[in-house]
């Protein structure tokens, strides 16, 4: 994507705001080392989350992994990636496309799928920092002047909202549901709507084993041969071949 210098600088500044990269108390500075140290994974996550709650980040994506990973997002936390998607449409002058923001807006569910129960420490259903309300996400869009009729919200568990979501076609599908079941729900209900030439981005492929398993199984069962391209931070993406237009 090539933009005039003014628009490009606006988007670059927005990235730094969303990731709190403008500040010393960057969102990621407080999470450094959460995978190591004393205590189990869940305990370390709770400690990191407690520190992060007082920080300014709206997006848990490192800035250096942002560019390739950017109109529907499943699993949005505070809304940062979806806010950036809306900003890109604004800067390109695109008025006939929408950003779909799908989330429970109540955190992660209790793991019920066997693949999500393999490692007890991966149960994040009681971590309050993941439970960001719809009202807060809407307010975050509004803070950046990007809450308008081109932003649509789907509130609820993916298994309930995605099968009947009024989405006809997608240019970009970004998955950030973490868990096997959530990832599979999103792929099974939305992948067929991604246009040929569109992109699928999986935020948690390299950090949540159950998510990786869901993606690998879905791709195998649908004979998806497009290369998985890694992005800094453990995310991957692939491009839907034009010949696969639905």
Architecture of the domain spanning 61-244: 3-Layer(aba) Sandwich (3.40)
At residue 10, does pLDDT exceed 80?
A: no
* Cβ partners under 8 Å of residue 239, min gap 6: 197, 198, 199, 200, 226
DSSP state of 145: T
Tokens 């190591």 -> residue: 36
pLDDT the model gives residue 30: 47
Q: What percent of the chain has pLDDT over 70?
A: 71
Rounded Cα–Cα distance for residues 104 and 51 (Å): 23
pLDDT the model gives residue 108: 80
pLDDT the model gives residue 26: 46
First to last CA, the chain: 24
Tokens 């981005």 -> residue: 201
At residue 68, does pLDDT exceed 50?
A: no
For the ranges 86-100, 152-166, 186-200, which has the lowest average pLDDT? Answer: 86-100
Rounded Cα–Cα distance for residues 228 and 221 (Å): 16
Domain ranges, ordered by start, for the chain: 61-244
Q: Give tens-digit pLDDT for 189-204.
A: 999 999 999 999 999 8
At residue 6, does pLDDT exceed 90?
A: no
Stretch 84-90: mean pLDDT: 89
Q: Length of the chain, please?
A: 246
For the ranges 82-86, 112-116, 230-234, which has the lowest average pLDDT? Answer: 112-116
Rounded Cα–Cα distance for residues 66 and 47 (Å): 25
Q: Give tens-digit pLDDT for 18-67.
A: 776 655 544 444 444 444 455 555 565 555 555 554 454 555 544 444 44
User: Where does residue 30 rank: exposed (0-12), middle (13-18), buried (19+ CB within 10 A)?
Assistant: buried
* Cβ partners under 8 Å of residue 68, min gap 6: 229, 231, 237
Cα angle 106-103-13, degrees, rounded to a multiple of 5: 105
pLDDT the model gives residue 45: 57
State the pTM of this model: 0.74
For the ranges 9-13, 28-32, 63-67, 212-216, which has the lowest average pLDDT? Answer: 63-67
Residue pair 86/73 in contact (Cβ under 8 Å)? The answer is no
pLDDT the model gives residue 118: 61
């Amino acid at each position: 994507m090539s933009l005039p210098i003014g628009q490009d600088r606006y988007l670059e500044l927005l990235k730094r705001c969303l990731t709190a990269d403008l500040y010393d108390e960057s969102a990621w500075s407080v999470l450094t080392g959460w995978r190591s140290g004393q205590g189990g994974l869940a305990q370390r996550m709770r400690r990191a989350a407690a520190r992060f709650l007082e920080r300014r980040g709206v997006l848990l994506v490192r800035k250096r992994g942002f560019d390739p990973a950017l109109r529907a997002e499943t699993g949005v936390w505070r809304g940062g990636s979806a806010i950036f998607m809306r900003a890109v449409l604004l800067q390109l002058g695109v008025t006939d496309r929408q950003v779909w923001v799908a989330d429970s807006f109540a955190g992660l569910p209790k793991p019920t799928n066997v693949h999500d129960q393999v490692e007890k420490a991966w149960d994040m259903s009681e971590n309050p920092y993941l439970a960001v309300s719809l009202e807060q996400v809407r307010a975050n869009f509004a803070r950046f002047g990007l809450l308008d009729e081109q932003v649509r919200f789907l509130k609820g568990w993916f298994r309930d909202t995605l099968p009947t979501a009024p989405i006809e076609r997608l240019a970009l599908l970004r998955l950030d549901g973490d868990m096997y079941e959530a990832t599979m729900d999103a792929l099974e209900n939305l992948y067929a709507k991604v246009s040929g030439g569109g992109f699928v981005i999986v935020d948690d492929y390299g950090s949540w084993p159950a998510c990786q398993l869901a993606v690998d199984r879905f791709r195998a069962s649908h004979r998806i041969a497009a290369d998985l391209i890694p992005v800094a931070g453990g995310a991957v993406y692939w491009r839907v071949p034009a010949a696969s237009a639905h």
